Structure 1
């Protein structure tokens, strides 16, 4: 049985990219002490595979406190490549400004190490006037569109998005809100054949739902549930990637021994599109995927 795909430690909140015929999987790392049932996440992990089955772990590429302005907490993240550099967008707790914030780190290599790209938060609560929820700035997801313009999506309870500057480390627009049914957290944006797909954690406990649009600015059409509640876990965060002409859906559950909502485990199953561009419901399996 291949799911969960990482079995020797608790991992969560996957993000994935393909580089030079390898898949790079970046995850959060649930590490609560024995007897503590809460989120304790200090660093992120990096794994790579050439066949989707055998995963090699790299040294710890990034810690929350590598951002000197942050007090800790390694929440969900997104890694993306541009012009030979790799940018890591992550939610952390700000040390000086109330609430969570979005950080960005950079590396010349997909396995890191990564360093703070700007020395300050890319997005903090002060940039959202009138918003008092300290958890708002969670779970960034980034897309570089066909014309080179980059966008960032994020949020908790409300989904926000903005344009990124070409340097990938600053915001280049107003911050906009999206109205998505039962948006909880865990946004993931990707594009296929001219259609934008925005997946997200839906309700509580979280299923994964998705919406589509032909324009990054909307209107977004809600398309329903993509993935049911993942076993023994209150949250979910999807990641979708195409590798060697097949599509894959990464997520997390609480399936490892001793696992649960605060000791999660990353899994992967196949993803299939219908002829009209919609996505078939994900079938979560214990077997996982076959080697490619």
Structure 2
């Protein structure tokens, strides 16, 4: 009996020390976009609501937070596509960034009157909302981008504020787009640019910018089924040098959508998998957030991410 009790205690302590992958299991959570605010990580995800054989059915975004990377608190859905008057629905990938004490949430949704996907922006005084439409209209619509003929190339926004205070927005499918943002964070400042294909080989979607030292990293989903690749540059406007694969495809999922942060002295790679097994079976349209470690080589290149089922260790 004592041995059994000790085993139970060991198991309980272990569950508090290490996360499992998927890291969030109370519901399906796709396209994680982490944001560090002080001693807390917030993550913004889409809520997969499909039946197993449906397409990407997502009607709301969700927010979670953690101070230790293991225990995640749900903050519900502080903003939905229907909160935009111009949106006809669908809550595809999003990204939130902080500037001057306000939080700007760039989101993907379908447009009511302009065919295709569009990017909107909501704003809040808190990372957990409530958020409200910051513009009254979409920031990017499909008629503004002509590098492809598809109607879903304006997806997966990722914002970045450079060391000089200039904010940028990256997004795209099949083509990697970027543009400056005005200081108000809700308007483009100048033309939309396209990163040449050879600089982001096999680009599919999910661009994400981060910087370490003097080097910019552009990670993205490549090919289909997707893997994660990356390119580097010494300027956020490029030119970018393709550096290879960062992560293999996610288990039981055609897509993998990454986010990269540093938190309490460690680098992390967020993504999703189709491996949530209980109470419902996961899959390509029923995805769940996972987290593993990100490591750098001495020359600044990235080590390939090892995707694990045990996840990451709790930090204080």
TM-score higher than 0.5: yes
Give 4+ residue runs of structure 1 displaced > 6 Å after superposition: none
Matched residue, 1:30: 48
Q: For residues 24 and 52 of structure 2, what CA distance do their matches in structure 1 show?
A: 22
Residues 117 and 153, structure 2, Cα contact 8 Å, conserved in 1: yes
Task: Kindly report the root-mean-square deviation, in angstroms, between the aligned alpha carbons of the 2 structures.
Answer: 1.0
Mean alpha-carbon deviation: is it higher for 59-68 or for 10-19? 59-68
Aligned with residue 198 of structure 1, among 218, 221, 233: 218
Structure 2, unmatched stretches of 5+, are 1-18
2:297 matches 1:274: yes
2:162 matches 1:145: yes
Report how many residues are paired.
291
Matched residue, 1:84: 101
2:177 matches 1:157: no
Matched residue, 1:15: 33
Q: For residues 77 and 54 of structure 2, what CA distance do their matches in structure 1 show?
A: 24
Structure 1, unmatched stretches of 5+, are none
Q: For residues 279 and 131 of structure 1, what CA distance do their matches in structure 2 show?
A: 30
Which secondary structure does the structure 2 equivalent of 1:65 belong to? helix
Q: For residues 37 and 56 of structure 2, what CA distance do their matches in structure 1 show?
A: 31
Q: For residues 228 and 210 of structure 1, what CA distance do their matches in structure 2 show?
A: 12
Instruction: Compute the displacement of 1:217 (Å).
Output: 1.2
Instruction: Compute the displacement of 1:99 (Å).
Output: 0.5
Q: Could you state the TM-score of these two structures normalised by the residue count of structure 1?
A: 0.98
Instruction: Compute the displacement of 1:20 (Å).
Output: 2.4
* Matched ranges for 1:36-185 at <5 A: 36-129=53-146, 131-179=148-196, 180-185=200-205
2:311 matches 1:288: yes
Instruction: Compute the displacement of 1:132 (Å).
Output: 2.5
Instruction: Compute the displacement of 1:135 (Å).
Output: 0.6
Mean alpha-carbon deviation: is it higher for 50-59 or for 130-139? 130-139
Q: Could you state the TM-score of these two structures normalised by the residue count of structure 2?
A: 0.90
The structure with the largest helix share of the pair is 2
Larger Rg: 2
Matched residue, 1:232: 252
Which secondary structure does the structure 1 equivalent of 2:82 belong to? helix
